[in-house]
Amino acid sequence: MRLIMLGAPGAGKGTQARKIMERYEIPQVSTGDMLREARRNGTEMGKKAAEFMDSGRLVPDEVVVGIVSERLQADDMKKGFILDGFPRTVPQAEALSKFGITIDKVVNLEVDEEELVERLTGRLTCPKCSAMYHKVFSQPKVKWVCDHDGADLIQRDDDTEATVRNRLKVYKEQTFPLVKFYQKEGIVVDVSGTGKNAGGVFDEIQSILDQ
Ligand code: AMP
Ligand code: ZN
């Protein structure tokens, strides 16, 4: 099973990708996580990416395509994968198909814009395992502590209102066209996430994947 999670920032790509990974035992490949790790490690690439990330812009295609192409060659990719946050532009999608990789399904998560802003600006993230929480809607058992590993939760630098608005604009202009791109291949499944909790959305995804 080779999947792409598509959707605006805050639509739940990461959360659903993790659930799919646990249920179907295929690895999740998150370019956002990989870029944040490169930043933490202080690599050249990480430093370059930081400027783009903090202003809510996309990191240049060649950088992201480079890290994904390396990751896709690893052994654990043979049983399938979930791409979370990649591709995000048409050139990235074209690069992916040039690698000769066929995608089985594109899960397109749809959530209303105002709900996206509310979700992102209240979001808490685990720096260790990337689990997501929300200050109001989905609180951890202990305040600011990850349920899974006890790490202190953080608010991502790009989850501020101004950056969030910019990320949504960038999504509409550069990423949304991918819905059409993959519709032409007939592999897009639309899943509504508005007003639903993560479990309800996952039930729907599971029924599609089990067909
Ligand atoms: P995410 O964790 O997926 O929300 O990604 C966080 C940030 O990393 C984005 O706002 C971009 O700046 C950058 N990023 C992640 N994936 C990509 C990608 N496929 N192409 C370009 N930039 C990306
Ligand atoms: Zn954690």
157 inside domain: no
Residue among 200, 210, 187 at smallest CA distance from 5:
187
Domain with residue 19: its CATH number is 3.40.50.300
69 inside domain: yes
Domain that holds residue 68: 2-111+174-209
28 inside domain: yes
When pLDDT is averaged across residues 115-133 and rounded to a whole number, the result is 94
How many domains are there within the chain?
A: 1
Mean pLDDT (the chain, rounded): 95
64 inside domain: yes
162 inside domain: no
When pLDDT is averaged across residues 120-137 and rounded to a whole number, the result is 93
- Measured from CB, residues less than 6 Å from any atom of ligand 1 are 9, 31-32, 35, 52-53, 56-59, 64, 85-86, 88, 92, 158, 167
201 inside domain: yes
| CA 85 to centroid of ligand 1, rounded, Å | 6
When pLDDT is averaged across residues 31-46 and rounded to a whole number, the result is 94
86 inside domain: yes
Q: What is the pLDDT of residue 211?
A: 85
142 inside domain: no
Q: What is the pLDDT of residue 30?
A: 96
Is 88 an annotated catalytic residue? yes
When pLDDT is averaged across residues 138-161 and rounded to a whole number, the result is 95
Q: What is the pLDDT of residue 62?
A: 95
- 197 pLDDT higher than 90: no
- 195 pLDDT higher than 80: no
